[in-house]
Amino acid sequence: MRAIFVCAVFGIMSVCMALPLHKVEGKCVALKDFSVAQRNVILKAFKYGVKSGFGYTMAAIAWKESCAGEYRMNFADPSAGIYHAHIPGLLKKNNQKDTGFMRNMVGELLVRDDEYASEVALDELLYWQKVRNGNWKEVIKSYNKGFSWEKDRERDKMAQSYYEDIAQRVQALHGYIPKYASALAKQAKNDKALAFLGKSTALTQNPKPSLSQQSVAYPKPNPKKLTTQVATQHTDSQKKKRDFIELPQELSANYANKPSSSPQIPTKKQNPNTGEFYLLQER
């Protein structure tokens, strides 16, 4: 028994020693040291949001939340995907039972389907864009803490810190993305982050060290994340329609042989007091 335990310990140690040190420590390398795979995640996030004016925003969020796809699971939340969507909240908004099985199914979907994860993140941003009347700073703070930052001083500090971090990443990405996708970057003429930061002087007066030149600890302390919202607004005819995950009792033994499916877009609920449609859940 002791021999088995010793072998197990040494086995774990050998695996850890084989991993890059920054991954073992949970750190994100500097932007200038991104791998090709990380660069592709950043460009994919940018491309998904660029037509809506959230190209740099989505790329920055993907960088912050998952180190551009390097860390796609957070069992503490639990959240998953390149933007770390909150799994229990996603199940609740889609009227799915919050079971261990369903959490695993949704988590797997978010991890393997970057397009769906991007769809969820973009619709969350579009929702807050409407609620906050286009104020990009408030959009980012609300993306992180919902409505709660307006009422709680501590949560406001956390939301402000999140906004400042995303803003710094946007500025770093503004110099990074055109180097690798100049034609794509030219499409960001109406980017909401750049427009806001161009007018804002708060960050330029007290600049932080460039994120493109430094390693970033990952994950940063952020025990409560905002739940992301499933898309309802995309009508692109070229976009494939998806069906949401079936309830456990409807899954058969032949599930593995069926074509992979993605979530069905849920119906938004209407707030009886304001008339607004939203599915957001704060944490």
* Comparison of pLDDT for 34 and 282, the residue scoring more: 34
Q: What is the mean pLDDT of the chain?
A: 75
pLDDT of amino acid 76: 83
Q: Where are the domains of the chain?
A: 23-257
For residues 145-164, average pLDDT: 94
pLDDT of amino acid 162: 96
pLDDT band at residue 146 under the 50/70/90 scheme:
confident
Digit-coded pLDDT (tens) for 242-274: 444 443 443 334 434 444 444 444 444 455 555
Token code pair at residue 175: 């110099």
Token code pair at residue 173: 């990405």
Digit-coded pLDDT (tens) for 203-221: 444 445 455 555 555 444 4
